[in-house]
Amino acid sequence: MSVLVTGGAGYIGSHTCIEMQNAGYDVIVIDNLDNSSKESLKRVEAITGKAVKFYENDVRDKDALRKIFTENKIEAVIHFAGLKAVGESVREPMMYYNNNLISTIALIEVMTEFGVKKLVFSSSATVYGVATEMPLKEGMPTGAINPYGRTKLFIEEMLRDLYVADSEWSIALLRYFNPIGAHKSGTIGEDPKGIPNNLMPYISQVAVGKLEKLHVFGNDYKTVDGTGVRDYIHVVDLAIGHVKAIEWALGNKGCEAINLGTGNGTSVLQLRDAFVKASDVQVPYIIDPRRPGDPDEVYANADKAAQLLGWRATRGIEEMCEDSWRWQKNNPNGYEK
Ligand code: NAD
Ligand code: UD1
């Protein structure tokens, strides 16, 4: 059975291609390589021993999508393609609305033309906005505090409207918490362009000597040690969550928001310490002021994924750090030769 993976050359997409192929699916990828390289898919093929059919196209290009749906018998779609940097979305909001919204609209229209109504969408815990209560549960109020977050929220709402209008659809809105880690092979992983915004790639680039020290954004939060707490999830667990979501979509109809997190919180300094232990490399740090807009704590209630998809994350912080480090150490410049 063939599944189209948009944005499949990216960080989460490439890991999901592996788990989908391992589960027996044929994987077709569309990616414009805006934030990735073809090399990731070559490495996916080397890991699984199975071919990935690749189309280098923009998801906003409806003719390109029609060609893909004509040439392949696609049963379902996992939609990762999108821009994801919060700071950039504040500086370039129209670029984010254009890319994230138009690509999703084009995809839905072409899926409808071809009668394919099973979709797994990459949403984010960011759709909970400024939450007053933890852990986050799917039924809690949503909101957004930046253009990136608004694109995710608008798309969720749009997909809910789609299901209300046509109950033949099966749509899983997967709200990811903080994906880190890499495939055990150490050959694929997160490859951010420029200086990383997110914590784990920053820590690993300090460890490998590309950055001098970690800047801890604030140590006066109401948390275990004053530094921000997040729900880090191993990207392979997350990828397996997509296989489960596809299985759900193939056997059910509906539109469901589902948290993909572990339910456990880890502070910045706890993650840094776990990384030092796993890598046996020093990660010097200084305490800087808070990053504007960062909440004290964000973590999931992960029960709905267990009930609906039969999925729970199984990999702990230590394994996440070991696997992030193996990827970084073996590929100090990411996919660049
Ligand atoms: P990524 O940038 O590594 O992957 C996204 C992929 O989509 C890239 O390969 C990029 O080239 C491609 N792409 C972007 N716009 C495209 C377009 N118009 N047409 C075709 N391809 C396009 O990011 P990721 O971390 O793998 O994230 C995947 C998805 O998950 C994104 O939608 C992101 O918003 C969402 N998400 C990510 C995180 C995270 O922390 N990584 C958290 C929550 C949600
Ligand atoms: C980021 C995204 C958010 C997305 C979430 C899940 C930003 C601003 N927000 O949030 O939209 O939903 O990932 O993937 O990118 N930290 C440091 N030093 C650093 C980097 C981070 O101390 O150099 C701290 C932060 O203050 C935070 C924690 O580490 O407490 C995690 O930060 P980050 O990895 O950026 O993730 P989120 O802030 O959760």
Overall pTM > 0.95: yes
Q: What value does the CA radius of gyration of the chain take, rounded to a whole number of Å?
A: 19
| Active-site residue (options: 11, 25, 96, 148) | 148
Mean pLDDT by 10 residues, the chain (337 residues): 98 98 98 97 98 98 98 98 96 98 98 98 97 96 96 98 98 98 98 94 97 98 98 99 98 98 98 98 97 94 98 98 98 90
Residue 229 CA to ligand 2 center (angstroms) comes to 10
Burial class (CB in 10 A: 0-12, 13-18, 19+), 28: buried
Enter the DSSP assignment of 336.
Answer: -
Which residues, 6 or more positions from 279, have their beta carbon under 8 angstroms from its beta carbon? 207, 321, 322, 325, 329
Report the residue among 19, 30, 34, 127 best suited for mutation to probe ligand 1: largest number of ligand atoms under 8 A from its CB.
Answer: 34
Residue 199 CA to ligand 2 center (angstroms) comes to 6
The domain locations on the chain are: 2-181+232-261
Residue 79 CA to ligand 2 center (angstroms) comes to 22
Residue 304 CA to ligand 2 center (angstroms) comes to 24
Report the residue among 80, 174, 224, 230 best suited for mutation to probe ligand 2: largest number of ligand atoms under 8 A from its CB.
Answer: 230
Q: For residue 38, report the phi and psi dihedrals to the nearest 5 degrees.
A: -65, -25
* Assigned CATH for 2-181+232-261: 3.40.50.720
Question: Would you say 120 and 246 are in contact if contact means Cβ atoms under 8 Å apart?
Answer: yes
Catalytic (active site) residue 148: yes
Ligand closest to 219 (CA) is: 2
Pairing of strands 214-217, 2-6: unpaired
Burial class (CB in 10 A: 0-12, 13-18, 19+), 23: middle
Please name the residue whose Cα sits nearest to atom 15 of ligand 2: 86
Return the pLDDT at 336: 87
Which residues, 6 or more positions from 7, have their beta carbon under 8 angstroms from its beta carbon? 13, 30, 31, 36, 59, 79, 80, 81, 82, 122
Q: For residue 313, report the phi and psi dihedrals to the nearest 5 degrees.
A: -70, 140
Ligand closest to 205 (CA) is: 2
The span from the CA of 331 to the CA of 11, in Å, is 14
